[in-house]
Structure 1
Amino acid sequence: MNWRLNICFISSIFLFLFSMMMLFIGIYFCLMNISLFIEWEVVSLNSMNLVMTLLLDWMSLIFMGFVMFISSMVIFYSHNYMEGDPYISRFILLVLMFVFSMMLLIISPNLISILLGWDGLGLISYLLVIYYQNFKSYSAGMLTVLSNRLGDVAFLLGIAWMLNYGSWNYVFYLNYMFNDFEGVMISFLMMFAAMTKSAQIPFSSWLPAAMAAPTPVSSLVHSSTLVTAGVYLMIRFNNLLVHTSMSSYLLLIGGMTMFMSGIGANYEFDLKKIIALSTLSQLGLMMSILSMGFPDLAFFHLLMHALFKALLFMCAGVIIHNLGDCQDIRFMGSLINFFPLTSCCFMISNLALCGFPFLAGFYSKDLILEMCLMSNLNFISFIFYFFSTGLTACYTFRLIYYVMCNCYNYNSCSMISDEAWFMLKSMYMMVFMAVIGGGVFSWIMFPIPSMICLPIFYKTLALIVSALGGLFGYVVSLSYYYSGLLSLNMIFYSKFLGSMWFMPYISTRGIYIGTFWSGFYFLKSFDQGWCEYFGAQGFFNLFKNSTLFVQSYQSNFFKTYLLMFFILMILLMLF
């Protein structure tokens, strides 16, 4: 057993054992309704105390268990995927630091310690996105880190506003904040920070760009760590969010994000970007149901989504790895004949994403949609929820058609097969959790089922919409494949809908034009123009001309002195 295998194996075993321990303790805390608030006094100097606080309840413990479990499988998976990398120890260390930052964010009831984990996630995600050192990765990493820095600024302002309450332990003040202006401001700032971290509109462009990272990193980032940090923060601040006016804005933003990413995924041909846009759609679903006052449902869907989305990225990584880093689904096809085991895992994760009955995604998505039908919901939000659910099935079956059922379009001389032992074993564990996780954790988190009384049409509406969406996706893919460049007839609409409503261009070219060109204009017109004319250069010219004028009287010219003498004599005679 070589040293690379030792690093991956020991790290994954360590994380797996800790994840099992956290899961069992979290389930016990959930059943017994136990919460622990731990304060560790780090430094006490005169009247100054530096205290580290930890909040251990069922939510934080179960979430930590899920993060560690997925991280252990991802690191185990990375042994095959990153086998040609000479710096795999650096990669594993970055992943472990990433997981540690997420742990710090999860268990912190204090805004200062949350900021440490929050900034740690942003910094290490930048290092992981630029791991493959090329221009595309650098551009994607810069877009990622700058988008997240906007949320960090809002978070710092929220910390400053919390000084009005005398402490940064927000859990003590959530029931009292919404009575005054400070609470509304803190609610807005936390929502803004969560929107940037979870890539809600208008900060969505960095999420597909972050696909420049290695696929194991994408599996970890898009399932349980970076993009879920904003949702988890809003779950903790949910009581404040619902009692202020911010919840209605978040409902609209989450619905628009769902709708936009669902449409964009149907126009995309990059395998990883399609899965990234599906993550964006599910994040919009979590944010919107969270804004309606159902934090437990949002957390439940967060956990279930982490399971099948990590599995989906792992399957995509196996396909990309065997096809020589090809990510275009138009060059794939009929892969079920070459990857039977991977294809089964891929199909299970896709069906769980669609909400296929009795898989992990069904228990959370169906419950969310039924609670929406039971709630006092407006028609626009209703359309966002159910049309986006149909779009999810649409792009999923389109992906299945192109990757699994289409004609084989890759090189004929290629050795592709299911022989990656470490990848398959980690995927088997994720399949097991994706199949049974929904039922088990729904029984644990909701031991008393909610009474949902709906007509038979509304009760089956989620399944009907998903079935129609899947059928539509298959038919559209079939017609697109056999009708040539159909989208050239509507090229502008295809470009607009397929490019996330031009958000990547606005986030890159728009910022470039808006900042660099405006800065160049202000430099020329103000710094090197009016400011120079009336400022330093103007004073220089004034002093220079005055000095030359005075020097002209000190040059010992007889005519000058004679003229001055006559002027003085005239003045004396006049006065």
Structure 2
Amino acid sequence: MMWSLSICFTSFLFLFMLSLSLIMMGIYFIMYNLIVFIEWEVFSLNSNSLVMTFLFDWMSLLFMGFVLFISSLVILYSEEYMLGDKAINRFILLVLMFVLSMMFLIISPNLISILLGWDGLGLVSYCLVIYYQNVKSYNAGLLTALSNRIGDVALLMAIAWMMNYGSWNYIYYLEFEKDSFIMLLIGIMIMLAGMTKSAQIPFSSWLPAAMAAPTPVSALVHSSTLVTAGVYLLIRFSPSMVDTWLSKALLLIGGLTMFMAGLGANFEYDLKKIIALSTLSQLGLMMSILAMGYSELAFFHLLTHALFKALLFMCAGSLIHNMKDSQDIRFMGNICTQMPLTAVCFNISNLALCGMPFMAGFYSKDLILEIVSLSYVNMFSFFLFFISTGLTVCYSLRLVYYSMTGDFNSTSFHPLCDEGWIMLKSMLVLVMMAILGGSMLAWVLFPTPIFIILPEGLKMLTLVVSLLGGWLGYEVSKIALSYNLMALKSYMLSSFLGSMWFMPFISTYGVSYLPLFLGKQIYSGLDQGWSEDWGGQMIYKQSVNYSKMIQSWQNNSIKIYLIGFILWMVMLIMLIM
């Protein structure tokens, strides 16, 4: 146990110091506009060389710094959260492998080395999702792995198409090959890969299912690693997608994902799934603003979102830990009097998610919505942006109402306390970042003030929509019984909206029943049927028969057959004569 505690603390210390140095280096690179490109030739054979390339610019350094900062706090948090686990060493090593895969993906300007990190994330995420070994975890892990394999295949196809250029360093070809047919095909493949990794429609069902993983893993996955990998890849490829039909398609898909996740979270009662759907909504927001051509703005929201989402999951883990592993928000209530410090952290992260003025989420979300108001965007996309923002505040206030206020709804003898000091320490560090991180990042990334002039109505629209969403969430929660009865009366509609537009059913039953059933029929009818009877099995049977006949000839005296054959020939000749 002592070694397991020391591995947690050592990993935390190393990653924390490394993250601070990387963030400082990123700020230095921004100030002096530096880019470092390192090529390492692993080996050369004749005229072919295997080269490992690394790209260090302000974007990769800042993102690596944030990933390592959150990972270090998650590992420190895991020291107490996973205390009863006998295999905590294995868990920490898996998390470290997960972080290392993300590092490879971030610093790679080369599609081959990106695939190394990309597949590493997929494989280690499968191991982490099935960490609690039960049927639900296995199903969730398989859904996660198979959904991500679609993106892996798309990335492999992009690698194959990129052979036309003679190099896999995509960073050289984004600008001047923008309008070529090959770059369009590569762009389609990269967009498909990014959509699967970041769980956009129609690949959204794996994200809530991945909540079967331990809560520290959820905090890491949903803030800065697995789901953000797709957004980061598309940010890197954004020069080749701007002003093409790909960006229009991505804008529609991102907007619909944002809207669908916001609606689904208002019907959900599982604490972790509500937060997972909120991640999905924010990923849709990033994809949408990226599709409009504002890649730096998408990256800004990616970083601010990582801070408060990691905190939100840590608070949820603390609540679940104290509720004796119950995740249903209907059993919670009055947490703020029992666990005041956790409640403060939870509410701060929720306010940052809602875009409360001068907190981390406000600086990126408000800027995104004002840019949308300023841009030439169609009315449908405009409404998706603002209605989704209102829905975010709606489900956040509903979550706070169920968990923080009212009466405690679990068993009477149920101790709740804030005594998990190691968990609280890591949460309190992130609280500071959830309050100050947005403003600090805004000063670093946008040193020149962005002056947006809008009519008063549009300027106030974000605030009005947020207040309306909050009021609606509060009213719906207050009249919960009549709301539930109304949902039962329109059961089909509420089940459609609450189950992510039937996407989990399509991704599991829809895929398994028809295609797999047809595959089984074809396999048993052709592979194991006709092709066996007329192929390998027929050759085998005929060979056996011939070998038996020859064996019988060899075992008996062959002269008898020869005499018989000669007599038969003589008789035949006599008959003919």
2:490 aligned counterpart, secondary structure: helix
**2:253 maps to 1:253:** yes
2:26 aligned counterpart, secondary structure: helix
Contact 1:177 1:184 in 2 (8 A): no
- Give the corresponding residue for 1:105: 105
- Give the corresponding residue for 1:550: none
| 1:431 partner amino acid | V
Contact 1:356 1:362 in 2 (8 A): yes
1:466-485 paired onto structure 2 within 5 Å: 466-481=466-481, 485=485
**What is the CA-CA distance between 1:534 and the residue it aligns to?**
6.8
Contact 1:258 1:283 in 2 (8 A): yes
**What is the CA-CA distance between 1:483 and the residue it aligns to?**
5.9
Q: Distance in 1 between matches of 2:129 and 2:49?
A: 38
**What is the CA-CA distance between 1:180 and the residue it aligns to?**
1.3
**What is the CA-CA distance between 1:512 and the residue it aligns to?**
1.1
1:232-271 paired onto structure 2 within 5 Å: 232-271=232-271
- Give the corresponding residue for 1:15: 15
1:179 aligned counterpart, secondary structure: coil
Moved more, 100-109 or 37-46: 37-46
| 1:62 partner amino acid | L
**What is the CA-CA distance between 1:38 and the residue it aligns to?**
1.1
**What is the CA-CA distance between 1:243 and the residue it aligns to?**
4.2
**What is the CA-CA distance between 1:477 and the residue it aligns to?**
1.3
1:139-178 paired onto structure 2 within 5 Å: 139-178=139-178
1:23 aligned counterpart, secondary structure: helix
Moved more, 169-178 or 259-268: 169-178
Q: Distance in 1 between matches of 2:164 and 2:522?
A: 39
Moved more, 223-232 or 447-456: 447-456
Contact 2:476 2:483 in 1 (8 A): no
**Structure 2 vs 1, CA of residues 9 and 534 (structure 1 numbering), >3 Å: closer, same or farther?**
closer
**What is the CA-CA distance between 1:526 and the residue it aligns to?**
4.0
| 1:152 partner amino acid | D
**Structure 2 vs 1, CA of residues 538 and 305 (structure 1 numbering), >3 Å: closer, same or farther?**
same
**What is the CA-CA distance between 1:478 and the residue it aligns to?**
1.2
**Structure 2 vs 1, CA of residues 294 and 484 (structure 1 numbering), >3 Å: closer, same or farther?**
closer
- Give the corresponding residue for 2:121: 121
- Give the corresponding residue for 1:95: 95
Contact 1:480 1:486 in 2 (8 A): no
**2:289 maps to 1:289:** yes
1:520 aligned counterpart, secondary structure: helix
Q: Distance in 2 between matches of 1:524 and 1:190?
A: 36
| 2:258 partner amino acid | M
**What is the CA-CA distance between 1:398 and the residue it aligns to?**
0.6
Q: Distance in 1 between matches of 2:536 and 2:364?
A: 67
Aligned length: 563
Cα deviations by residue, 1:130-170 (Å, 9 ceiling, x for unpaired): 11111111110011011111100000000111111110111
- Give the corresponding residue for 2:558: none
Contact 1:187 1:244 in 2 (8 A): no
- Give the corresponding residue for 2:551: none
| 1:467 partner amino acid | L
Q: Distance in 2 between matches of 1:191 and 1:28?
A: 31
2:235 aligned counterpart, secondary structure: helix
Q: Distance in 1 between matches of 2:333 and 2:159?
A: 51
Q: Distance in 1 between matches of 2:428 and 2:525?
A: 64
- Give the corresponding residue for 2:429: 429
**Structure 2 vs 1, CA of residues 535 and 99 (structure 1 numbering), >3 Å: closer, same or farther?**
closer
- Give the corresponding residue for 2:550: none
1:424-573 paired onto structure 2 within 5 Å: 424-481=424-481, 485-523=485-523, 525-527=525-527
Q: Distance in 2 between matches of 1:34 and 1:536?
A: 64
**What is the CA-CA distance between 1:543 and the residue it aligns to?**
12
| 1:433 partner amino acid | M
Q: Distance in 1 between matches of 2:532 and 2:46?
A: 53
**2:414 maps to 1:414:** yes
Gaps of 5+ in 1: 545-553, 555-560
Contact 2:5 2:79 in 1 (8 A): yes
Moved more, 117-126 or 240-249: 240-249
- Give the corresponding residue for 2:68: 68
| 1:492 partner amino acid | M
| 2:260 partner amino acid | M
Cα deviations by residue, 1:274-313 (Å, 9 ceiling, x for unpaired): 0000000000000010000000000000000000000000
2:479 aligned counterpart, secondary structure: helix
Q: Distance in 2 between matches of 1:30 and 1:333?
A: 46
Q: Distance in 2 between matches of 1:249 and 1:492?
A: 29
**What is the CA-CA distance between 1:488 and the residue it aligns to?**
1.2
| 2:60 partner amino acid | S
**2:319 maps to 1:319:** yes
- Give the corresponding residue for 1:361: 361
Q: Distance in 1 between matches of 2:27 and 2:509?
A: 48
Cα deviations by residue, 1:544-565 (Å, 9 ceiling, x for unpaired): 9xxxxxxxxx9xxxxxx9xx99
**Structure 2 vs 1, CA of residues 534 and 124 (structure 1 numbering), >3 Å: closer, same or farther?**
closer
**Structure 2 vs 1, CA of residues 183 and 323 (structure 1 numbering), >3 Å: closer, same or farther?**
same
Moved more, 361-370 or 509-518: 509-518
| CA-based RMSD | 2.7
**What is the CA-CA distance between 1:426 and the residue it aligns to?**
0.3
**2:210 maps to 1:197:** no
Contact 1:205 1:507 in 2 (8 A): yes
Please give the TM-score of this superposition, normalised by the length of structure 1.
0.93
| 2:57 partner amino acid | D
Please give the TM-score of this superposition, normalised by the length of structure 2.
0.92
2:223 aligned counterpart, secondary structure: coil
Contact 2:104 2:117 in 1 (8 A): yes
Contact 1:178 1:243 in 2 (8 A): no
**What is the CA-CA distance between 1:40 and the residue it aligns to?**
1.7
| 1:35 partner amino acid | I
**Structure 2 vs 1, CA of residues 434 and 520 (structure 1 numbering), >3 Å: closer, same or farther?**
same
Q: Distance in 2 between matches of 1:437 and 1:531?
A: 64
**What is the CA-CA distance between 1:485 and the residue it aligns to?**
3.4
2:454 aligned counterpart, secondary structure: coil
Q: Distance in 2 between matches of 1:126 and 1:543?
A: 47
Q: Distance in 1 between matches of 2:529 and 2:60?
A: 58
Q: Distance in 2 between matches of 1:78 and 1:527?
A: 49
1:173-192 paired onto structure 2 within 5 Å: 173-192=173-192
Q: Distance in 2 between matches of 1:468 and 1:62?
A: 35
**What is the CA-CA distance between 1:540 and the residue it aligns to?**
10
Cα deviations by residue, 1:78-116 (Å, 9 ceiling, x for unpaired): 111000001111111111111111111101111111110
Q: Distance in 2 between matches of 1:353 and 1:328?
A: 21
